[in-house]
Amino acid sequence: MRVKYVMVAISWDDSYTVHVESIDRQHKKMMRLINDLYRISNDGGDDVQVEKALSSLSQYTKEHFEYEESFFEKYHYPFIKNHQKEHTNFLGTIAQITGELLNGQENDKKESINVMVSWLKNHIVSEDKQYVCFMLEHGVK
Ligand SMILES: [Fe+2]
Ligand SMILES: [Fe+2]
């Protein structure tokens, strides 16, 4: 029997749920895109592949942030300013990381992926989880 070993940098578990199905689905997809990037940069993927994976991640992340923020705006989420700032900063971080992933040493590459993984974990658990009641009260599914 052949066992295929799949490298992952981050994996979903129920502790990440925000109890809103559409948002959980988007967070899972963001994790998948980070794992794609991790695999490609570890497999010695060329710059074109790495750039492609990074741009998919950054594009999808932008869409996800816009999705969350659309409800913040529509229903007047009280912590919108701080949450939006976190989102903007992370998009900046992804842009910064692009250079390190393309030109950096092995260690820098690992470190860059770790930065993204930690950010996403922390953001879901400490920021996104704050809006659970707000989203549920407004019937967001
Ligand atoms: Fe989120
Ligand atoms: Fe968020």
Residue 43: the pLDDT is 81
DSSP character at residue 128 = G
CA 51 to centroid of ligand 2, rounded, Å: 24
Q: How confident is the model at residue 1 (pLDDT cuts 50, 70, 90)?
A: low
- Per-chain residues with Cβ under 5 A from ion ligand 2: 68, 128
Q: How confident is the model at residue 52, as a pLDDT?
A: 94
pLDDT of residue 4: 61
Gyration radius of the chain over CA positions: 16
pLDDT at 10 over 80: yes
Tell me the CA–centroid distance for residue 129 and ligand 1, in Å: 9
34 Cβ neighbours under 8 A, 6+ residues apart: 9, 10, 57, 113, 116, 117, 120
Neighbours of ion ligand 1 (CB under 5 A): 128
3-state secondary structure of 21: helix
Q: What percent of the chain has pLDDT over 70?
A: 96
pLDDT given for residue 115 in this prediction:
93
- CATH no. for 19-137: 1.20.120.50
User: How many Å lie between the centroid of ligand 2 and the Cα of residue 110?
Assistant: 24
What are 27-81's pLDDT values in tens digits? 999 999 999 999 998 887 788 999 999 999 999 999 999 999 999 999 999 999 9
- Can you give the residue ranges of every domain in the chain? 19-137
Q: Which ligand is nearest to the CA of 20?
A: 1
Mapped onto helix, strand or coil, the DSSP state of residue 135 is helix
Q: Which is nearest to 74 in space by CA: 125, 140, 18? A: 140
- CA 57 – ligand 2 centroid, Å: 15
Tell me the ligand closest to 69's alpha carbon: 2
Q: Which bound ligand lies closest to the C-alpha atom of 25? A: 1
Would the pLDDT of 112 be above 80?
yes
Q: What is the pLDDT, as a whole number, of residue 47?
A: 86
pLDDT at 107 over 70: yes
Taking the centre of ligand 2 as the mean of its atom positions, its distance from the CA of residue 87, in whole angstroms, is 6
pTM for the whole structure: 0.93
